[in-house]
Amino acid sequence: MSVVFVRGGAEFDSEICLRGLNLLAHAQMIELPTGSRCGGHGKCGADRLILDPDSQKYVNPPSPIEVHQLSPDELARGMRLACQTFPSADGLRIRATIEWTGEQQSG
């Protein structure tokens, strides 16, 4: 099992799911841009993704940073920041759609 990202209609499989690694790091392992501009420090709010409903139970609850950066409506839709979202165990199947659709990434 692994973390699978959807971006621009295509699927990208990280081929790994590790509890100690946030979803930003999973995406970076396969060189998949997420829009991150702060290097995963929870400051830019640009690495937004939407977890599939089935996947929401396999990750940590929203962090205080996410509660600050995202609206209650966004959180209710399963939106998270990739750098703040961690699998709750190794080897889970997690699927998330990356919101960012740009071409450049700086951090």
Check binding of 59 to ligand FES (CB under 6 A). Answer: no
Check binding of 66 to ligand FES (CB under 6 A). Answer: no
Q: Name which of residues 8 to 37 contact ligand FES (CB under 6 A).
A: 24, 36-37
Mode of pairing for the β-strands spanning 3-7 and 94-98: parallel
CA-based max dimension of the chain: 31
Check binding of 49 to ligand FES (CB under 6 A). Answer: no
Which residue, 65 or 92, is less far from ligand FES as judged by CB? 65
**Structure tokens, 12:** 């990208």
Contacts of residue 77, defined as CB under 8 A and 6 or more positions apart, other chains included, come to 50
Adjacent-strand bridge partners of 98: 49
Check binding of 81 to ligand FES (CB under 6 A). Answer: yes
Check binding of 75 to ligand FES (CB under 6 A). Answer: no
Mapping DSSP to helix (H, G, I), strand (E, B) and coil, where does residue 24 land? helix
How far from chain centre, in Å, is Cα 106? 17
Closest contact distance (angstroms) between CB of 74 and ligand FES is 14
Binding site for ligand FES (CB under 6 A): 24, 36-38, 40, 42-47, 81, 83
